[in-house]
Structure 1
C-alpha cells in the first residue's frame, strides 16, 4: 500500500472540508487501512457513489483508496 498517497487523500479531504456521511465513511476506511485491514476499502467506491452529497472528486478518491487496498 502506498501510505504517502493515503495520507495525501486524508489531507485533500481536510482541505475540502467534507462534512457528512461521506466524511464518516472516508475516516472509517482510512483508519481501517492504517490499522492493517485493507479489506475495508472493498466496495468503498460504490458506497461513496450512493451518498447524495458526493461529488466526482470524492468518488475518484474513493475508487483510488479501493485500488490502493488491492496493491
Structure 2
C-alpha cells in the first residue's frame, strides 16, 4: 500500500473523511480569495477541474492563481 502524500497546503491526499475534504477545500478557496500562492495540484483537487478549465473560470482571482502556477 502506498503511503499518503501531502499537498502543498498540508492536506493529506489519500482517503479522507468528507469533513476533512471539505475543510481542506474551504482552506484552499480562502487562500485563492486572499491571493496566497497555491500549487496547481491543490487547485485541481479542490475545484475538480483540469488546468484549462480553471484558467477559464469566472473568478478572476482563480484565473490569476492558475496563471501564476
Q: Same fold (TM over 0.5)?
A: no
Using CA pairs under 8 Å that are at least 6 residues apart, name the structure with larger relative contact order, 1 or 2: 1
Q: Under TM normalisation by the shorter chain, which class is it?
A: 0.3 to 0.5
Give TM-score scaled by structure 1 length.
Answer: 0.36
Is the helix fraction higher in 1 or 2?
1
Structure of larger gyration radius:
2
Give TM-score scaled by structure 2 length.
Answer: 0.37
